[in-house]
Amino acid sequence: MVVIEEAPKVAEDDDTLLEQEVNRLYSKLKKLGWDKSACESIAPYTLKINKLKRDKGFKILAHSYQTADIVFGIADIVGDSLALAKKATEIKEKRILFCGVDFMAESVKILNPEKLILVPERGRDCTLADSITGEDVVKLKEENPGVPVVCYVNTNADVKAESDICCTSANAKKIVESLDTDTIIFIPDENMGKNLAKMTGKKIITWPGYCRTHNALTIKRLENLISDDKTKTFAHFECRPEIIESVDYTGGTGDMHRYSAKATKGDKVLFLTEQGFIDRMKVEYPDVEFEDSKMICVSMKRNDLIATLKALENPTDDNVIDLDEDIRKRAYKAVSNMLKY
Ligand code: CIZ
pLDDT digits (tens, 9 = 90+) for 75-132: 999 999 889 989 999 999 999 999 999 999 999 999 999 999 999 998 778 999 999 9
**Which among 175, 209, 243 is the end of a domain?**
209
Question: Does residue 7 fall inside a structural domain?
Answer: no
226 and 174 co-located in one domain:
no
For range 177-192, the mean pLDDT: 97
Torsion angle defined by CA atoms of residues 225, 100, 251 and 130, in that order, rounded to the nearest 10 degrees: -90
**Alpha-carbon span 42 to 11, nearest angstrom:** 15
Residue of 81, 244, 257, 259 with the most ligand 1 atoms within 8 Å of its CB, for mutation: 81
**Which among 146, 175, 209 is the end of a domain?**
209
Does ligand 1 come within 6 angstroms of the Cβ of 252?
Answer: yes
Task: Report the separation in Å between the CA atom of 238 and the middle of ligand 1, taken as the mean of its atom positions.
Answer: 9
pLDDT at 135 over 60: yes
**Which among 156, 189, 209 is the end of a domain?**
209
For range 248-262, the mean pLDDT: 96
Q: pTM (2 decimals)?
A: 0.93
- pLDDT value, residue 3: 41
- pLDDT value, residue 237: 95
46 and 118 co-located in one domain:
yes
Task: Report the separation in Å between the CA atom of 158 and the middle of ligand 1, taken as the mean of its atom positions.
Answer: 20
255 and 280 co-located in one domain:
yes
**Alpha-carbon span 332 to 63, nearest angstrom:** 21
138 and 116 co-located in one domain:
no
What single DSSP character describes residue 60?
A: E
Whats the size of the chain, residue-wise? Answer: 341
Look at the chain and report how many structural domains it folds into.
3
Q: Which helix (H) or strand (E) holds 138?
A: helix 134-143
198 and 277 co-located in one domain:
no
Percent of the chain at pLDDT > 90 equals 91
204 and 220 co-located in one domain:
no
Does ligand 1 come within 6 angstroms of the Cβ of 162?
Answer: no
219 and 204 co-located in one domain:
no
**Alpha-carbon span 153 to 254, nearest angstrom:** 14
Are the CB atoms for 165 and 334 separated by under 8 Å?
A: yes
Range of the domain at 149: 129-209
Q: Helices (DSSP H) in 206-301: which residue ranges?
A: 212-215, 219-225, 241-246, 253-262, 275-284
Q: Using N-to-C axis directions, what is the helix angle for 305-313 and 36-56, rounded to 10°?
A: 20
pLDDT at 261 over 50: yes
CATH of the domain at 251: 3.40.50.10800
Does ligand 1 come within 6 angstroms of the Cβ of 171?
Answer: no
133 and 204 co-located in one domain:
yes
Does ligand 1 come within 6 angstroms of the Cβ of 107?
Answer: no
pLDDT at 248 over 60: yes
Question: Does residue 270 fall inside a structural domain?
Answer: yes
- Picking from 187, 182, 143, the residue whose alpha carbon sits closest to that of residue 164 is 187
